[in-house]
Structure 1
């Protein structure tokens, strides 16, 4: 019964666990433990001092390196800005020369176009008009002469000059296109360099204490550059070299065009003078021939008038001789009325017979002469008409060559286009 009561009480009350009694150390162990703790504290203090010193050294070193790197970067940024500004100035100077060459070539192209228009609408048209006008010559004057050869040759020279100028115009147009292409690439290069200049100037103005700085937490590398410095320099230098090459080509082309225009003008003027000389020579020849024809015409007119007077005198002479013939016949008829032995051939009869015979012979000669004179007069009048036609032909030719053609040719203007 007592046992059950004890058991019940333990069951009803909380259990209390008592720890085991602590270990017991010796005094030596206590002193050793204290020395060990002191040793550990000293070592930790020494290590901490070393770490602090190393941290301070590394901090100062990193700060110095950081500042050095920043200063070096700033220096390189300033150098890059200087390089970009220098290269940009070089490109602008070269671009200005390219633009000047474009303007100069455009002026030369206008000169070529003006010369082409003048040759096509003035010189060539005038030469062709002269050829057409000379088709209006008449008769024997419508011949193939030196003027026609020189006019055709002048047209060939004009057309040859036009072909050369057209080729020069095409070359100039192509050169202008290449120069403008060079300007385009230089403008793009300048635009890129101006953009870089703004970016790097902004970078130069930034400090580590500036506002709105940000850290990059992306995965792509910040250094996305794929062009090397050598490639960058080579690209710009190629632009400058190409611009210099195109400028040199443009200047050579302008010199060629200047020489071409000068030579074309000289050739055209030379042929123009030759054609004018042929006109002058031919005009003088026609004038001389016309003057000779006029002299001959005057002489023919004089001879025709003289022949007319001669025929008149012959007719008068024949009329007079017919009176003498009638007189002799009347006398012979009257003497036939003699009677008997009185009807004899006396000296009067013989004289009258001889007179009648001689008058008949003389009348026959006079009639023959008047026939010849009339035939000669007809030939003279025919020759006079032919001479008048020839003179009119020469007058028409002179009008065409001296008045029409030479007046037209005065409008031909060859000058330094």
Structure 2
């Protein structure tokens, strides 16, 4: 797609002041700068005054001619943004509405990047439900799903009291059916894709869930959803263990769903852990030693007053158990995580290179998908134009510029705007 940004084209014949001959024009192009004589070396003071005055007038005239010359050409640009973000360019993308977006209400931990984390839906009791419930699946089958989207960096909520409620990025607080702040009798459906991080070992992974109240973990295998952990029901913080392992290799991606519900106030807990085993034989040997499966208590795994791990949890960690980290959760396609820690920025230094005597290309990268635009200034005259913004969201940006005037310098700034409306600009790049 080709877009044109005109540089305030001025005609040489638009007024008597600009009625210049071809000879004047060529003189401006090829004549060396006028050398001014110092008054002290002039043979007479009257001649000196006239020479200086004439030289200044000539210099001013040539400067005006150069300025006009710089405005004679038009600049056109073509966008060649490439998308390595994994998003189908033909898909319709809806940006998160701050009033419909809730960032990790249980732990307030931001994701390290928009490609990592989990998305979730909130369920409230439906009209055909009896409170208290005895299974999280009552919410899934009979509950009412709210329209707000919830985003998490990981599932890591040690035993604690939950009084904050669900606050959207727009500042509103979600309420229950009675108009009270939502802190009890709700459920969450988490969705993400499990993968190994760069530092993880390949092998068999055993999962476990510590939750208050119930939680159930499902994974997709052979295009079918299968249950891995059933830690359902009303209980204090309890460890539910998997009945089998999941084989994880470099590049393996396993879709998961985690259903969790909170009954009556106030204690909550929801931690998803895993442990690496070299193979299934190693898993079968170690599972006999895991005596804490099924054990429960508000202060059994974590101190509920300060969230610090107890001796039991420290022992689990010493045997290889660890909380599944943010880097192990891949966001579903077409649904980036807006609750991130890393600020939107231009990565590295933009570059400009020639593609013809009157053309150049500008290349830059951003850490999040964003639009492409250039600010182009004539460094001699100061005149500035902005190219029409290409709203296609990409992380690798390439803009081709045509119509540059040989011999003139241009100051170029790359501009990108992300889906939140945040704008970043590069430093000035002078070309050539």
TM-score between both structures, scaled by the size of structure 2 = 0.17
Structure number with bigger Rg: 1
- Structure that is richer in strand per residue: 2
